[in-house]
């Protein structure tokens, strides 16, 4: 070790401090400055879409987005131990008649993951349980029986003035809103299937499952966010649609009353909002509440409905460059 003179060392330290090369230390060795704990974005469903394919009217497109603010607050990958499920109810009893399950391998060295699509139960899926599609993330994968699957990073299709919402529903300040989600990314699973595989009038919801436990579920936008109180949000996410009326009707009615609805209207709306299922006539290209297409301004529709027209919207429209061909979502920012 070469000998450094004292003054030289101090000069070094001085220069280093001056140029930011040496920071004043923040770490105490006697405890753990462990990383912050967050909800696992990979299992957090942001939005669910179900709409007639704009490129083939005989097909239906199902999309779930996960990983909010992907690449910033959440990973850009899918959880390798989780199952990402689209639940489909074909007879209006709020129970799934079939489930399209998408699973992933651990990411390889470049971040790509193997993707597998299955359908259960066998009795409803035709060769069910079998693998309907397999391939890699970031690629279009052909589905057996017709259709295409893609799991990838995209521009977040959601648009909403989240800050105004958080600011006591103070929408449209000065007649303008700000889309909080502009410029943000999500990861999404896009599944296009022949509508004949699904049915005519169907109900759809998505869920994530880890170790046989449901982590999140969602159908219509913002039901849990808006109507369910903090202490029951987990219960809602762990719940199933056919128990929604029993378990959460009181909360939904309560919120609707608080928004200024009378009892009869609140009761009426609660029975539309619950169970939380996205109902779709696969033969129709009509917008939300018939399913949900990417550009549908669901927030304006919901705000207007639940406020009895008092809040017409949030003055925000989509700024995403959706396409009319698969996978329909805009490329990531």
Partner 1 sequence: MSQRRAILLIVISVLMIVGSYVPNASRTVSSPASSEPSINIDASSPGFGMKGTDELIVFWKERFERDPRDFISLTHLAESHIRKGRETGDVSEYQKAEAILRNSLKINASYEPTLAYLSAALFVQHDFSGALELANRVYNADPRALQALATIGDAQLELGHYAEAEVAYEKLGEKSPSAPVYTRLARLVWLHGKPTEALNWMQQAVEDSDEMGLSGENSAWYHFQLGELYFNTGQLEQADTQYAAALKAFDNYYLALAGLGKVRAAEGKYDQAIEYYQRAVNIVPQPDFLAALGDLYMMTGQPGQAEIQYETVEYIGTLAALNEQIYNRQLANFYSDHNMKVEEALELALAELESRKDIYGYDAAAWAHYKNENYEEAQAFMEQALALGTRDANLYYHAGMIALALDDKAQARTYLDEALAINPHFSILFADEARETLRTLQNAAVK
Residues 107-136 that bind partner 1 (CB under 8 A): 107, 109-111
Question: Which part of the chain contacts partner 1 (CB under 8 A), choosing from 161-169, 191-199, 297-305, 307-315?
Answer: 161-169
Question: Which part of the chain contacts partner 1 (CB under 8 A), choosing from 30-38, 54-62, 258-266, 312-320?
Answer: 30-38
Task: Please report the sign of the dihedral spanned by the C-alpha atoms of residue 247, residue 250, residue 253, residue 258.
Answer: negative
Q: Is 180 in the site for partner 1 (CB under 8 A)?
A: yes
Say if residues 73 and 245 touch (Cβ distance below 8 Å).
no
For the residues of 215-236, what is the DSSP string, one character each?
A: EEEE-STTHHHHHS-HHHHHHH
Q: Is 317 in the site for partner 1 (CB under 8 A)?
A: no
Q: Is 258 in the site for partner 1 (CB under 8 A)?
A: no
Question: Which part of the chain contacts partner 1 (CB under 8 A), choosing from 94-102, 228-236, 255-263, 273-281?
Answer: 228-236
Q: Is 10 in the site for partner 1 (CB under 8 A)?
A: yes
Closest CA to 269 of 251, 287, 286, 290: 251
Candidate list 58, 131, 166, 331; residue touching partner 1; CB under 8 A: 166
Scan for tokens 């489930």, then name that residue: 99
Q: Is 65 in the site for partner 1 (CB under 8 A)?
A: no
3-state secondary structure of 282: coil
Q: Is 20 in the site for partner 1 (CB under 8 A)?
A: yes
Say if residues 115 and 134 touch (Cβ distance below 8 Å).
yes
Q: Is 7 in the site for partner 1 (CB under 8 A)?
A: yes
Q: Is 181 in the site for partner 1 (CB under 8 A)?
A: no
How far apart CA 209 and CA 201 sit, in angstroms, is 26
Q: Is 175 in the site for partner 1 (CB under 8 A)?
A: no
**CB-based burial, 118-135: b 16+ in 10 Å, e otherwise:** bbbeeeebeeeeeebbbb
Binding mask 198-217 for partner 1 (x = CB under 8 A): ------------x-------
**CB-based burial, 29-49: b 16+ in 10 Å, e otherwise:** eeeeeeeeeeebbbbbbbbbb
- Interface ranges with partner 1 (CB under 8 A): 1, 3-4, 6-7, 9-10, 12-14, 16-40, 42, 70-73, 75-77, 79-80, 106-107, 109-111, 153, 162-163, 166-167, 178, 180, 210, 230-231, 233-234
């Amino acid at each position: 070790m070469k000998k450094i003179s004292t003054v030289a060392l101090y000069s070094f330290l001085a220069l280093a401090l001056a140029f930011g090369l040496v920071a004043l230390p923040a770490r105490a060795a006697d405890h753990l400055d462990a990383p912050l704990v967050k909800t696992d974005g990979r299992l957090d469903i942001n939005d669910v879409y179900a709409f007639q394919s704009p490129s083939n009217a005989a097909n239906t497109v199902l999309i779930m987005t996960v990983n909010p603010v992907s690449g910033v607050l959440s990973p850009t990958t899918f959880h390798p131990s989780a199952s990402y499920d689209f639940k489909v109810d074909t007879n209006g009893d709020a129970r799934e008649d079939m489930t399209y399950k998408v699973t992933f391998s651990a990411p390889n060295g470049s971040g790509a993951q193997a993707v597998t699509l299955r359908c259960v139960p066998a009795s409803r899926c035709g060769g069910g349980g079998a693998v309907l599609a397999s391939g890699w993330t970031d690629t279009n994968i052909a589905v057996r029986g017709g259709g295409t699957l893609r799991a990838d990073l995209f521009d977040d299709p959601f648009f909403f003035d989240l800050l105004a919402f958080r600011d006591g529903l103070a929408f449209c300040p000065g007649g303008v809103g700000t889309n909080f989600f502009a410029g943000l990314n999500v990861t999404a699973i896009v599944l296009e299937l022949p509508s004949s595989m699904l049915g005519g009038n169907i109900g759809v919801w998505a869920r994530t499952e880890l170790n046989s436990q449901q982590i999140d579920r969602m159908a219509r936008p913002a039901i849990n966010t808006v109507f369910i109180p903090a202490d029951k949000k987990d219960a809602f996410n762990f719940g199933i649609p056919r128990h929604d009326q029993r378990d959460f009707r009181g909360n939904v009615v309560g919120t609707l009353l608080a928004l200024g609805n009378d009892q009869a209207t609140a009761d009426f709306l609660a029975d539309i909002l619950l169970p939380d299922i996205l109902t779709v006539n696969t033969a129709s290209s009509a917008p939300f509440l018939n399913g949900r297409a990417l550009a549908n301004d669901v927030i304006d529709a919901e705000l207007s409905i639940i406020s009895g027209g008092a809040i017409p919207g949030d003055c925000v429209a989509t700024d995403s460059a959706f396409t009319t061909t698969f996978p329909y979502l805009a490329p990531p920012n």
